[in-house]
Amino acid sequence: MSKLKVLITREELAAKVKELGQRISKDYEGKELLLVGVLKGGFMFLADLVREITIDVNIDFISCSSYGNSTVSSGIVRILKDIDYDITGKHVLLVEDLIDTGLTLTYLKDLFMAKHCASVKICTILDKPSRRKVDLQVDYQGIIIPDKFVVGYGLDYAEKYRNLPEVYVVEEI
Ligand code: 5GP
Ligand code: MG
Ligand code: MG
C-alpha cells in the first residue's frame, strides 16, 4: 500500500508557473519560439505554462523512455515519438516535469542541438539538484524539491496519479 502526502500545493505550482511564463514571454519577445513538451509527465505543466505566455508560440511534443528500471534513469534514451516540426532556425524550449539525474535532458538537448536550431533551453517545473549525475544548465528552474519520489501534476507511479493537481510524496505503508 502507498500513502500520498502533499509536498507542493496547487497555489504554489500556479505561482511558479506564472513567474516562469512571464520570464519566458520577456526573454523570447520577437523570436520564433517552439515549446517542446516532454511526454508523458510534462503535459500538465506545458498546458498551464502556455496559458501564462503572452507571445506567439508553437507547441510540439516528444516522448522518450529510459531503458531499464522505470524509477531509475539509465541515461540511454529511446525516442518513442519525435517532434513533427522542422526546427531549423527555431528557438526550442524543452518543457519537462522533473529533472532528477539530468541524463534525459542532457541527451535531448544534444539531440536538438544537432538539428541546427537557433537555441535550445530547458524549463522544468520541479528539480532535484541533489540527484544530479551530469552538469546540466537549467535555464528556467521551477521548484527545488528534496530527494523523494513524487507523483501528481503529470508525474506517475506505475502510470497512476498523473491527474492529481498537487505534487505528492509517495510513502510506503
Ligand atoms: P532524469 O533523467 O533527470 O534522471 O529523470 C528523467 C525523468 O524521470 C523525469 O523527467 C521524470 O519524468 C522521471 N522521474 C525522476 N524522478 C521522479 C520522481 O520522483 N517521480 C516520478 N514520478 N518520476 C520521476
Ligand atoms: Mg519527465
Ligand atoms: Mg514515469
| Tens-place pLDDT, residues 71-81 | 666 667 889 99
Would residue 7 count as lying in a domain?
no
* Strand locations in 48-112 (E): 57-66, 77-81, 91-99
Q: Which amino acid is at 46?
A: L
Q: Which amino acid is at 104?
A: T
Query: What mean pLDDT is predicted for residues 12-28?
Result: 98
Would residue 27 count as lying in a domain?
yes
Would residue 158 count as lying in a domain?
no
Cα 27 versus chain centre, distance: 19
State ipTM: 0.97
Atom of ligand 1 nearest to the CA of 103: 2
**Segments forming the whole domain that contains residue 80:** 12-148
Would residue 100 count as lying in a domain?
yes
Radius of gyration, CA atoms only, the chain = 16
Q: What is the total count of domains within the chain?
A: 1
pLDDT at 14: 98
pLDDT at 171: 87
Could you tell me the distance, in angstroms and rounded to a whole number, from the CA of residue 69 to the centre of ligand 1? 12
Query: Which pLDDT tens digit goes with each residue over 26-72?
Result: 999 999 999 999 999 999 999 999 999 999 999 999 999 876 555 66
Give yes or no for residue 169 having a pLDDT over 70: yes
Number of H-type helices and E-type strands within the chain: 3, 9
Would residue 55 count as lying in a domain?
yes
Query: Which pLDDT tens digit goes with each residue over 127-150?
Result: 999 999 999 999 999 999 999 999
Would residue 64 count as lying in a domain?
yes
pLDDT at 37: 98
Find the CATH number of the domain harbouring 49.
3.40.50.2020
Catalytic residue set: 100
**What's the rounded Cα separation, in Å, for the pair 155 and 23?**
24
Atom of ligand 1 nearest to the CA of 96: 10
Could you tell me the distance, in angstroms and rounded to a whole number, from the CA of residue 165 to the centre of ligand 1? 17
36: CB partners within 8 A, 6+ apart: 60, 61, 62, 83, 92, 93, 94, 95, 112
Would residue 170 count as lying in a domain?
no
Would residue 169 count as lying in a domain?
no
Could you tell me the distance, in angstroms and rounded to a whole number, from the CA of residue 29 to the centre of ligand 1? 31
